[in-house]
């Protein structure tokens, strides 16, 4: 069944900015949002909402909550890691300052919760969202502390840091529809996050090695593989995670799984492009 094409990603962009309410910190947050990004979490929410026949208000609510939280985590993460650029422009903390970056992230977290005011099962949505923020925060600190890791550690670290906010848009949509599948969506989030991180790792291997950050390619090189072989095994690891995600997605009700499969397809293409470029 082909997905209904939804035209409201531009509505999501608009509502995210409205939720920031104006003022100097909102200006900084908008600078970050204007830098673009894949909006993968917003698209996940809209795809899932479409499969579940949610109305546009509920769909936008799920999309804005997840996308604002993700972008808040990027703003704070860039400051924590002292990453000077984001999407080819100065990161928010470099364009403004550290204090503004902290406040802008705070504002985006708050705006994400405010967007849930339009969610039909607000009480449950609040709890799901808080759990995702808590897990992301813990994952972010564990990740910042980790310097070496086994492959099992890698899956755990990455799944804990990136999984919750990848699963959240679909979990919020399922919750809005009163549909089952919440646990499966959480599992899929963890699997997709591995593919996401491997993509990052493949492009950042030199920087991560220099900074002593966990990187799956460095991990495989450390166990004796050549650089090209390490990259190949890493891609295989990502592809296998994507396949598991697809298999799990088939078990979701109302073709909601298509939302995750669309993202898996995009990540697969990106992995293949990187392999071709190598």
- In the list 4, 85, 144, 203, the residue contacting a second copy (rule: CB under 8 A) is 144
Which among 101, 50, 48 is positioned nearest to 73, based on CA atoms?
A: 101
Distances (CA, A) of 145 to 80, 210, 214, 223, 273: 12, 16, 10, 21, 31
- In the list 138, 148, 211, 273, the residue contacting a second copy (rule: CB under 8 A) is 138
Q: Does 156 bind a second copy (CB under 8 A)?
A: no
Separation between Cα atoms, residue 179 and residue 162, nearest integer Å:
24
- In the list 3, 13, 56, 80, the residue contacting a second copy (rule: CB under 8 A) is 80
What are the backbone angles phi and psi of residue 20, rounded to the nearest 5°? -80, -15
Q: Does 278 bind a second copy (CB under 8 A)?
A: no
- Closer to a second copy at the Cβ: 58 or 133? 133
Total residues in contact with a second copy, by rule CB under 8 A: 43
- Closer to a second copy at the Cβ: 107 or 242? 107
Q: How far is the CB of 145 from a second copy (least distance, A)?
A: 8
- Closer to a second copy at the Cβ: 61 or 215? 61
- Closer to a second copy at the Cβ: 105 or 257? 105
Separation between Cα atoms, residue 192 and residue 233, nearest integer Å:
17
Separation between Cα atoms, residue 132 and residue 152, nearest integer Å:
22
Q: Does 74 bind a second copy (CB under 8 A)?
A: no
Q: Does 142 bind a second copy (CB under 8 A)?
A: yes
Q: How far is the CB of 77 from a second copy (least distance, A)?
A: 9
Residue 194 exposed, middle or buried by CB count within 10 Å (0-12, 13-18, 19+): buried
Question: Could you report how far apart the first and last alpha carbons of the chain are, in Å?
Answer: 35
Separation between Cα atoms, residue 132 and residue 161, nearest integer Å:
10
* Residues forming a β-bridge with 89: 86
Binding string to a second copy for residues 102 to 121, with x set by CB under 8 A, is what? xxxxxx-xxx-xx-xx----
- Closer to a second copy at the Cβ: 99 or 278? 99
Q: Does 24 bind a second copy (CB under 8 A)?
A: yes
Instruction: Say if CB 33 and CB 107 are below 8 A apart.
Output: no
Q: How far is the CB of 157 from a second copy (least distance, A)?
A: 13
Separation between Cα atoms, residue 12 and residue 71, nearest integer Å:
13
Q: How far is the CB of 176 from a second copy (least distance, A)?
A: 14
- In the list 72, 167, 216, 252, the residue contacting a second copy (rule: CB under 8 A) is 72
90 SS3 class: strand
Separation between Cα atoms, residue 201 and residue 270, nearest integer Å:
13
Q: Which residues in this chain contact a second copy in the complex, by CB under 8 A?
A: 19-21, 23-26, 72, 76, 79-80, 98-100, 102-107, 109-111, 113-114, 116-117, 122-123, 126-127, 129-131, 133-135, 137-138, 140-142, 144
């Amino acid at each position: 069944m082909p997905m209904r094409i939804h035209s409201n990603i531009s509505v999501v962009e608009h509502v995210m900015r409205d939720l920031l309410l104006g003022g100097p910190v909102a200006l900084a947050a908008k600078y970050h949002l204007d830098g673009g990004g894949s909006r993968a979490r917003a698209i996940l929410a809209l795809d899932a909402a479409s499969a579940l026949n949610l109305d546009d208000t509920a769909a936008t609510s799920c999309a804005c909550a997840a996308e604002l939280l993700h972008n808040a985590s990027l703003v704070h993460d860039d400051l924590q890691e002292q990453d000077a650029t984001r999407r080819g422009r100065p990161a928010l903390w470099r364009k403004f300052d550290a204090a503004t970056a902290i406040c802008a992230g705070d504002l985006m977290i708050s705006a994400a919760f405010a967007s849930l005011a339009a969610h039909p099962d607000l009480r449950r949505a609040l709890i799901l969202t808080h759990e995702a923020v808590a897990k992301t925060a813990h994952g972010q600190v564990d990740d910042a502390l980790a310097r070496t890791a086994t492959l099992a550690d890698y899956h755990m670290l990455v799944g804990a840091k990136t999984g919750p906010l990848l699963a959240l848009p679909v979990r919020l949509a399922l919750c809005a529809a009163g549909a089952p599948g919440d646990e499966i969506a959480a599992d899929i989030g963890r699997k997709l996050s591995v593919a996401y991180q491997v993509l990052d790792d493949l492009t950042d291997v030199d920087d991560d090695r220099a900074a002593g950050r966990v990187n799956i390619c460095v991990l495989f090189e450390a166990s004796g593989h050549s650089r090209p072989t390490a990259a190949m095994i890493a891609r295989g690891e990502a592809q296998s995670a994507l396949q598991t995600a697809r298999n799990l997605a088939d078990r979701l009700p109302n073709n909601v799984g298509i939302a995750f499969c669309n993202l898996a397809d995009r990540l697969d293409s990106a992995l293949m492009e990187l392999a071709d470029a190598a």
